[in-house]
């Protein structure tokens, strides 16, 4: 599976490596095209996942703010709820297409 924005691949991993949570596909950190990303200061805390880390990405020379997010330090019970350790996995804004 690929996460693609304007023809740029942001992440790529096999379907079985992804975590499916609340309608989003979360890609493992190793699948990211890391040189495209930088940390965003945007703050958000999910009641059951924990504090989110938002990410900006540079695509076609433009910085796209808060295009992705992850949960680096999961709250107790989050792994059990999902059935998979998804700490650090990255999900993408709806502007990003998820393709086979």
Residues 6+ away with beta carbon under 8 Å from 42: 54, 65, 66
End-to-end Cα separation, the chain, in angstroms: 5
CATH class of this structure's domain 2-99: mainly beta
Residue-by-residue DSSP string for the chain:
-EEEETTEEEEE--GGG-EEETTEEEBPGGGB-GGGEEE-----EETTTEE-EEEEEEETTEEEEEEEEE-SSPPTTHHHHHTS--TT-EEE-TTSEEE-
For residue 85, count other CB atoms closer than 10 A to its CB.
Answer: 12
Rounded distance between C-alpha atoms, residue 41 and residue 44, angstroms: 10
pLDDT band at 77 (very low <50, low <70, confident <90, very high): very high
Contact 4, 12 (CB under 8 A): no
Over residues 5-28, the mean pLDDT reads: 97
Mean pLDDT score of the chain, rounded to an integer?
97
Domain extents in the chain = 2-99
pLDDT digits (tens, 9 = 90+) for 28-58: 999 999 999 999 999 999 999 999 999 999 9
């Amino acid at each position: 599976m690929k996460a693609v924005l304007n023809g740029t691949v942001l992440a790529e991993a096999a379907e079985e490596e992804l975590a499916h949570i609340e309608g989003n596909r979360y890609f493992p950190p190793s699948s990211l095209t890391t040189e495209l990303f930088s940390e965003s200061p945007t703050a958000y805390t999910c009641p059951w996942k924990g504090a989110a880390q938002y990410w900006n990405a540079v695509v076609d020379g433009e910085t796209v703010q808060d295009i992705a997010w992850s949960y680096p330090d999961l709250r107790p019970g989050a792994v059990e709820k999902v059935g998979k350790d998804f700490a650090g996995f990255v999900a993408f804004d709806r502007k990003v297409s998820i393709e086979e």
